[in-house]
Amino acid sequence: MRNTLAILISVLFSSLLAGCESQPKATELDRARDALVARDYSRAETGAQTYLARDPDGPRAAEAYYIQGRALEDAVAVNAQQARENLQAARNAYINALKAVTIDRALEGLIRASLADVAYWQDDFATSAEQGQAAYAMLEEPNAKAWTLYRTGVSQQRLGRFEDADKTLRMVQEYHLGSEPAQRAVARIGVRGFNIQVATFANAAAADTVVANLQKQGYASSKRLTGSKTVIFAGPYKSWDQASNARARLLATYPDALIVP
């Protein structure tokens, strides 16, 4: 799964290891690292597995598990099921990387940031927030730090920890002024619930019909004019779980429904 944070972490990993020298018994791992940089994810995963099969407790085991996780997370999946399986496999690899222990603080920061990223996409916001906070102190690249802190705030928000989220999002604005995450944080500060953006219509009458249908089904609903179009919302919901359950019910009729903010 490629997203802004995942791409940043991959680039950082490339930079981190650019000057690494090959070590004895690690030829496959060096090649795996180079394959990951070249986005040859299959070869990268195979090389990492080869190293781990021979030396699971070796000095570069954490790096090997991390390469394996990145290859799985970044690879293009053929369908949604494979994407979910890849995410879980990547998560397992990152957990194993942390268990392997490394004195390389920069590498540990990337491992934790990657675990936070995967957990976020799995809707495991508790793990995402915890690992994101830990990773933030270890990362050095400003843009990666900004995105990691922002994602931590969003995760706290989705856990219902609204006060904590506001503090974290204000930190994004204060420490990363002018960045895209700081700009996104503006709309999220003060949020105390969630809505479902059901659909957008150019025809006002069609929008009114959808609002009426939603209300008949028991959904609180509203509409908002955005330029010449009308956006329909269901909610608000006090928790992310409530909004997620409602969205799941609405998807059959409104496949583009999404939770905001």
Domain ranges of the chain: 4-138, 141-191, 194-260
pLDDT at 25: 46
pLDDT band at 19 (very low <50, low <70, confident <90, very high): very low
DSSP 20: P
State mean pLDDT over 25-36.
Answer: 83
The residues, ordered by sequence, that sit 6+ positions from 107 with a Cβ below 8 Å of its Cβ are 16, 62, 63, 66
Q: Which CATH superfamily is domain 194-260 in?
A: Sporulation related repeat (3.30.70.1070)
pLDDT at position 22 is: 47
**Average of per-residue pLDDT across 144-173:** 98
Q: Can you tell me the mean pLDDT for 233-244?
A: 96
The domain defined by 4-138 folds into 1.25.40
Mean pLDDT of 86-110: 96
Distance (Å, whole) CA 170 – CA 72: 33
pLDDT of the residue at 28: 86
- C-alpha–C-alpha distance, residues 158 and 244, integer Å: 11
pLDDT band at 172 (very low <50, low <70, confident <90, very high): very high
Q: Label residue 12 by pLDDT band (50, 70, 90).
A: low
Task: Take residue 159 and report the two structure tokens written for it.
Answer: 């856990």
Mean predicted confidence (pLDDT) in 176-198: 97
Judged by DSSP in three states, 141 sits in coil
Quick check: 67 pLDDT over 80?
A: yes
Beta 194-201 vs 229-237: how paired, if at all? Answer: antiparallel
The per-residue pLDDT for 5 is 72
Which amino acid, one-letter code, is at 179? S
> Is the pLDDT confidence value at 15 over 90?
no
User: What does the mean pLDDT of the chain come to?
Assistant: 92
Give the full edge-to-edge strand order of the sheet including 229-237: 221-226, 229-237, 194-201, 258-260
Q: Give the strand pairing for 258-260 and 194-201.
A: antiparallel
- Would you place residue 148 in the very low, low, confident or very high pLDDT band (cuts 50, 70, 90)? very high
Residue 38 scores a pLDDT above 60: yes
pLDDT of residue 17: 55
User: How much is the pLDDT for 51?
Assistant: 94
**In the predicted structure, residue 143 carries a pLDDT above the cut 80:** yes
Contacts 24+ apart (CB under 8 A), 83-91: 83/1, 86/1, 87/1, 87/118, 87/121, 87/122, 88/122, 90/114, 90/118, 91/115, 91/118, 91/119, 91/122
Contact 48, 67 (CB under 8 A): yes
pLDDT at residue 8, rounded to an integer: 66
Q: Does the bond joining 236 to the residue before it have cis omega, within 30 degrees of 0?
A: yes
Please compute the mean of the pLDDT values over residues 198-214 and round it to a whole number: 94
Would you tell me how many other CB atoms lie within 10 Å of the CB of residue 69?
27
pLDDT at 24 over 50: no
Q: Reply yes or no on whether the pLDDT at 225 is more than 80.
A: yes
Question: Looking at residues 81-100, what average pLDDT do you find?
Answer: 97
